[in-house]
Structure 1
Amino acid sequence: MIVWLNGTFGAGKTTTAGELVRIVPQARIFDSEYVGFMLRHVKGLPEVGNFQQWPPWRGLVVQTAVQLLDYLGGVLVVPQTVLVEEYWSEIRTGLEKAGVPVRHFVLHTDEETLTRRIEADAVETTARQWRLDHLADYREALPWLRRAAEVVDTTGVPPARVAETVAAAALTPVPDPPARR
């Protein structure tokens, strides 16, 4: 299974992922950003503002996740912002075709909290302005994200509690939709 943690920068994806692997047996973090970092070194790819724009990134994320699950089993926790609905659809479809169940969560908080978290982040200081500049992209994507994922409000909630909420939801089977007549 894959537990995909989506949401904007500063919502708590990385921290929640760390908490999830602590409480979910056989869970491991798969940071799909490294697939993008790997592709940045390939000559001939067009210049893009975000490596998610490269179709090979999306395909390689799917294939890497499938290979990791085939080899290791368990649960992959993927803390990755995907704000383009078409990209998410491509990834989700690829995983579904491979038979991998996906639970998609959006970690959400209000913009004031996001701004405060981003400005206070002592680890990601070089990307601070970039993260702040992309809050508008998140706001724009929020309608489709609300339809495509389970939204977990992280406002004022400790990361361990957010992880418990995600784990409880992820480990509860999703009922099949009612049959159409």
Structure 2
Amino acid sequence: MIVWLNGTHGVGKTTTAALVQQLIPDSRVFDAEKVGETLMDVNPGLPETDNFQNWPPWRSLVVETAHRILDYTGGTLVMPMTVLIEPYWREISQGLASYGIPVRHFVLHADQETLRKRIQDDTMMGPSVFRYNYLTPYDEAFHGWLGREAHVIDTSALTPGRAASEVVNSLSAA
């Protein structure tokens, strides 16, 4: 199974993923962003883009990598990754389904004010224009397809530990 933690930058996906992994026996965290980083290292570079998710190989390689990891290890993959473009999500989720891999899709959500404060106060990355730039596309996706597509966990007033517990409790209830 895959537990996919979606949501915008600064919502707490990476922190929550590590905590979810600790709560689910035989689970691992797979950060699909590393696939994008690998593609960014291709030389000469792939066609210019502002987001590696726009490269079709990223989406298919995420599917293949997740499949191969699960085929090798079994268990559960916890995947913290923002995907805001519905056709990209469909491509990934259908690719995983073609391998018979169940995906539990969660959106870690917070209101815009909370997100802006978290980005501003981030002691690891500091304020980030890149992260701020995704707030509007996230809001549009959330109020469009994304909020209907996934199980939403509002993290505005939750600690990462509590958000992780809600993810795991939701898995148990299904």
The normalised TM-score by structure 2 is: 0.95
Distance across 1 between alignment mates of 2:28 and 2:116: 29
Q: Please give the alpha-carbon distance, in whole angstroms, between the structure 2 residues aligned to 1:110 and 1:52.
A: 24
Partner of 1:6: 6
SS of structure 2 residue aligned to 1:171: helix
Per-residue CA distance 1:48-97 (angstroms, 9 max, x = gap):
10000000000000000000001111110000000000000000000000
Counterpart residue number, 2:138: 138
CA distance in 2 between counterparts of 1:82 and 1:122 reads 24
Report deviation, 1:133. Answer: 1.5
Aligned residues between the structures: 172
Residue type matched to 1:157 in 2? L
Offset at residue 171 of structure 1 (A): 3.4
What is the rounded CA distance, in whole Å, between the counterparts of 2:124 and 2:68 in structure 1? 30
The corresponding residue for 1:178 is none
Aligned to 2:173, the other structure's residue is in SS state: coil
Distance 1:133 1:170 in 2: 32
Match of 2:40 in 1: 40
Secondary structure class of the residue paired with 2:48: coil
Partner of 1:60: 61
Q: Which moved more, 1:162-171 or 1:68-77?
A: 162-171
CA distance in 2, matches of 1:17, 1:96: 22
Task: Give the equivalent residue in structure 2 for 1:176.
Answer: none
| Cα distance in 2 between the residues matched to 1:6 and 1:77 | 11
Q: Aligned equivalents of 2:123 and 2:62: distance in 1? A: 28
The aligned counterpart of 2:172 is 171
* Superposed structure 1 runs of 4+ greater than 2 Å apart: 170-173
Gaps spanning 5+ residues in structure 1: where? 174-181
Identity of aligned residues (%): 53
Q: Map 1:86-125 onto structure 2 (within 5 A).
A: 86-125=87-126
Distance 2:124 2:75 in 1: 29
Q: In angstroms, what is the RMSD of aligned CA positions?
A: 1.1
Residue by residue over 1:4-51, the C-alpha shift from the partner in whole angstroms, topping out at 9 and shown as x without a partner, is 000011111011101101111111110000000000122352101000
Which residue pairs with 1:157 in the alignment? 158
Matched letter for residue 29 of structure 2: I
Gaps of 5+ in 2: none
TM-score (normalised: structure 1): 0.92
Q: Partner letter of residue 115 of structure 1?
A: R
> For 1:172 and 1:48, how far apart are their aligned partners in 2?
41
TM-superposed deviation, 1:170: 2.2
